[in-house]
Chain A
Amino acid sequence: MNDFKPQIIAFCCTNCASSAAQVAEGMKKTLPENVKIIQVPCTGRIEVLHLLKPFEEGADGVYVAGCQEDSCQYVSGITKAAKRVEHVKKILEELDIEPERISVFNLYAGKGHEFVQVALDMTDKIKELGPVM
């Protein structure tokens, strides 16, 4: 479509998303190289500032990949992360930046293809939006 390679940062919970990543690897499904993974012990630990920093450093998109709402090992990690993502969406909107540049995804540990699909979908979405700057 165009040459723009969006830089995307993905915060992934080690329990679900990262296991999904391993499954994906086993299936020889690879992540697009423009998506950089940051593993976190629980998505509930991701603060608003963690989600803003990538944008400050030039990222075009950010997402959080965690577990299903009812299967968080630490009870409510992904629910908290989703609220913070919502908050960052509002901040982006106030800066006239498309809020779709940040998302949260609920994954299953065993579903490797979903993990890769999320990265591809996010890449497509950000490509459509173009660079932030």
Chain B
Amino acid sequence: MIVAEPKPIKEILEMVKDFKKVLIIGCKGCVTVCNVGGSKEVGILASTLRIDAKKNGKKIEVEEHTLERQCDPEYVDEIKDIINDYEAVISIACGVGPQFLSERFPSARVFPGVNTKFMGGATEHGIWSERCAGCGQCVIHYFGGICPIARCSKSLLNGPCGGSDHGKCEISKDVDCIWDIIVRKMMEQDRLDELLEFKPPKSWTTARDGGPRQLIREELVI
């Protein structure tokens, strides 16, 4: 899933301080699963804005709405009849959501309510870890099913750097050296020699380095 975290409340308050009618839009996708942008969190943010307004003797109307997904135009369309009633829209979907809203409703003032962090999963309840950097050409099968691009601090593809120290990465004692884990896994599977096989350098043109990406699948285009 795409993992995000709430923006500091003060930052959000600053964004919408001049508006009296605010629409908060959640998303039932990834951000619901990582407890940051679903209907529950829409309610919490709305309540927080109302408490702030009350405390400061301000009048504010905060409306709550949660879309099936903010990254699909047909769901975004659901709010076409209400969005113009609001001076400001706070999207608490990942960074895709507020952009889809801005594109669909060009006159709306759309603000991001969360900070989008990474693609990953929950390793424990309340703890998420990065797993994929979206390089566009997956190679984890060469590395025991583990992604060194997302999980090595230097995205090294040909073994650990000199900073690997007793299983920990040189950037912090709290960060595992993923190369230590990759090597151990390959030893367990008796495949260590596979790491010695020559691989041509990875092409990064499929990653962000190749510029903004688009994917066209002709069989699906209507």
8 Å CB interface, B119-166 against A: none
Q: Does B54 contact A (CB under 8 A)?
A: yes
- CB–CB A97/B54 < 8 A: no
Measured as residues with beta carbon below 8 angstroms from the partner, the interface class of chain A is 10 to 19
- CB–CB A95/B44 < 8 A: no
Q: Give B130 Cβ to nearest chain A Cβ, in Å.
A: 24
Q: Give A92 Cβ to nearest chain B Cβ, in Å.
A: 8
8 Å CB interface, B9-60 against A: 9-10, 40, 43-44, 47-48, 50-52, 54-55, 57
Most-contacted residue by chain B among A47, A53, A55, A56 (CB, 10 A): A56
What CA separation (Å) do A11 and B168 show in the bound complex?
A: 45
- CB–CB A95/B9 < 8 A: yes
Q: Give B50 Cβ to nearest chain A Cβ, in Å.
A: 5
8 Å CB interface, A10-50 against B: 47-49
8 Å CB interface, A64-97 against B: 91, 94-97
- CB–CB A52/B55 < 8 A: no
Q: Give A49 Cβ to nearest chain B Cβ, in Å.
A: 5
What CA separation (Å) do A97 and B55 show in the bound complex?
A: 8
What CA separation (Å) do A133 and B40 show in the bound complex?
A: 25
- CB–CB B44/A94 < 8 A: no
Q: A47-B40, A133-B57 are in contact. Are A52 and B9 (CB under 8 A)?
A: no
What CA separation (Å) do A55 and B55 show in the bound complex?
A: 10
What CA separation (Å) do A53 and B51 show in the bound complex?
A: 9
- CB–CB A56/B55 < 8 A: no
What CA separation (Å) do A96 and B52 show in the bound complex?
A: 9
CB nearest neighbor in A for B39: A49
Complex contacts, B55 vs chain A, CB 8 Å: 95-97, 132-133
Complex contacts, A133 vs chain B, CB 8 Å: 54-55, 57
Q: Which 4 A-B pairs have the closest CB atoms?
A: A94-B9, A52-B47, A49-B43, A56-B47
Can you list 25 pairs linking A and B with CB atoms under 8 Å apart?
A: A47-B40, A48-B44, A49-B40, A49-B44, A49-B47, A52-B44, A52-B47, A52-B48, A52-B51, A55-B47, A55-B51, A56-B50, A56-B51, A58-B54, A91-B44, A94-B8, A94-B9, A95-B48, A95-B51, A95-B55, A96-B55, A97-B55, A132-B51, A133-B54, A133-B55
